[in-house]
Homo-oligomer: A and B are copies of this chain.
């Protein structure tokens, strides 16, 4: 697509696939609202007081229907919002259209190139004169990364006049990041530092982004406070686990229509995401084999009746391979060559480096046959057999299906809203330093509580004497911080 910012009739900036899908998006947003009681409760509780009045929020997070409900919760609480997706395939174009038309500046479409992706990220952070956002909602940490790299480059440039050299890295994506920053230096050599100055903080959605934040905290490189939303119980033990249990088979079915029952499935990694994937595959009738590096997680898999082997042990007999590790170099082209004809290879971890796409694309004589978007058959010349790779190795549940369902995202996103409220409320109090924080347990419990009524649940109430007996307040929080659920 031609990379120019467009405007709606009301003057809102955007770049989406097709604004005419806004009505369809609106209908699905309305359905989602009924399934997202936590976000709707936030609107009811906080809407009247407009706590985000004056706040600019930039979000880099899959631009789906569920995210649309999050965005409109932020705007309902008074915020101005700009948004981009954090994955080139994860945008739902009708959701983007509805938001662009009705609520916030959106720069996202399904099937961006990497250049387009980073252009969108830039636009999302670009609030025009006066610098950047007050708050960031990040997923995977790309918005945070861009600012940190930008500040680093500006400081170096000021000091030595040196500009970033895209050729200094082999990583195709990081080349683009450096190019953007280099080019930005020319027009405004303090853009990212102004952003940093204004920024109150970031709330980060996912394991991968959180890992980056803790690394920066450790080296002292973190430039602003961060709330780790991922490790709210109501996020990681719900979205990661139950969300993937739902969306992994959904992605498999939409992409390939393959019967899961009777198949041998390999799940690489048995963290929360891997647990959800393995459960889904087992329940659908597959025989599931897990690969793990961590003996505790491996023992958990065994207790659930799953076999724990190495990828090498099973590479030639399995039908379905799923990576969930958050690590890199999990399934290499050399594995893929040994797989059965039409074995399915996919990734549900945040980044696309779990599967060796580069090795596959550059394999001599390999042939790519696109069955349909995000479903490719790659045929090896030696055997003339092929494997089926989903979403080019990126998040298959968002690339091939519609990601996690609304209800579980309501848990995650209610944490996001609470985190954003907390950062904004404490912006001048010094409560949050340039560190990574998790939300206090009572807020975590509150998020859960907001989702019980929709499912018809009735909680038991502690008596005072029971609460004293177990040394907790009657109204909670009920568990110590180290409790694992």
Contacts and interface: CB of A to CB of B under 8 A. Distances in A.
A329 B236 CA distance: 33
B27 A296 contact: no
Nearest to A66: B257
A184 to B, nearest CB: 28
A131 interface: no
29 contacts: A27-B371, A31-B371, A214-B480, A233-B484, A234-B299, A236-B484, A237-B484, A245-B261, A246-B259, A253-B401, A258-B407, A259-B406, A261-B302, A261-B305, A262-B407, A263-B455, A264-B456, A288-B305, A291-B460, A292-B459, A294-B445, A295-B445, A296-B445, A298-B459, A299-B457, A310-B458, A326-B470, A327-B466, A329-B466
A259 B405 contact: yes
A342 interface: yes
A28 B371 contact: yes
A283 interface: yes
Interface in A445-468: 445-446, 448-449, 451-452, 455-463, 465-466
B328 A305 contact: no
A211 B471 CA distance: 9
A282 interface: yes
A261 B484 contact: no
Interface residues of A, number: 113
A378 B32 CA distance: 16
A448 B295 contact: yes
A5 interface: no
A454 to B, nearest CB: 8
A319 to B, nearest CB: 9
Interface in A164-222: 211, 214-215
Nearest to A232: B296
Given A259-B405, A293-B459, 12 more contacts: A250-B250, A250-B253, A250-B254, A257-B402, A258-B405, A259-B408, A262-B303, A285-B304, A294-B445, A298-B452, A327-B470, A438-B482
Nearest to A296: B448
Given A371-B27, A478-B293, A328 B485 contact: no
A317 interface: yes
A438 B446 CA distance: 28
